[in-house]
Amino acid sequence: MQTFTAAAVQMKSGPDKAANVAEAAARISQAAEAGAQLVALPEVFAWRGPHDRETFEAEAIPGPTADAMAALARRLGIHLVAGSILESRGPGNLPFNTTTLFGPDGSLLAVYRKIHLFDVDLPGRVTIRESALRSPGNDVVCADTALGRIGLAVCYDLRFPELFRRLGDAGAEIVVMPSAFTRPTGMAHWEPLLRARAIENQCFVVAPNQYGAGSQGFYDYGNSLVIDPWGVMLARGGDDEAGIVSATLDAGVLERVRRELPCLTHRRLV
């Protein structure tokens, strides 16, 4: 792993895809100009709107939004985790919720389809049935890059430590987790779960999140985070504002934590 700057973009995406993609491009460019070599967008950054429009708004990968992100990564010379988009599976099939990783030459390095779908009912606060709208993926995804080995997860995946352990077993040094984590669940669980996943797997975690009142009737938590392998919060976004949070991911910290507390080598149950 190299030492480099990572940036998490915080957005409030809505039903105007062109406006969302334009804002994302502006934020990515701003982060890159400030020195970020890895930039990550939040979950469903390109479009969030009425549930009955989801299949219509889904796109192929490669496709218009993915191609725009690839071109941007190439122009800026950065690694880019393009949040997630709804990936079309053809007529009659629910789309995947898919994140993509592009290299600084614009190449598609990894595609991860969200495995765990968010079905929750908190009376009077939030009710969501993601499984009624989207198909689950099956594959754990980790990719070698010039910056280090990057694992991918999306939002609700955070609650499943076995996924992160499999990413750790695959050699992940950095896990990037685009999210649209809701305010009620985020206030209780966002920070402690992110810190736990970083500590358990002795890796950096970069977690860009949506914020504010969304078009689907609930609030997202914001508070995008960058966390080191010791569980230290290196950067944190606000709870109700767009922006960029960035931090240096120090390869020496990763090496030292894994050397001084080599718990990953002490495992007896797998």
Query: Residue 118 maps to which CATH number?
Result: 3.60.110.10
Structure tokens belonging to residue 181? 């984590």
Does some domain include residue 40? yes
DSSP 43: T
Number of domains in the chain: 1
- Here the tokens at position 25 are 């491009």
Q: Note the pLDDT tens digit of each residue in 67-125.
A: 999 999 999 999 999 999 999 998 889 999 999 999 999 999 999 999 999 887 777 66
Among candidate residues 249, 263, 202, the one with its CA nearest the CA of residue 36: 249
Q: Is 270 inside any structural domain?
A: no
In a domain, 212, yes or no: yes
The contacts of residue 219 (CB under 8 Å, 6+ apart) are 182, 183, 184, 212, 213
Looking at residue 155, its pLDDT comes to 97
Give me the active site residues, please: 43, 114, 155
pTM of the full predicted structure? 0.96
- pLDDT average, residue stretch 131-153: 96
Contact between 158 and 116 under an 8 Å Cβ cutoff? The reply is no
Alpha helical stretches, state H, 38-182: 54-57, 64-76, 161-169
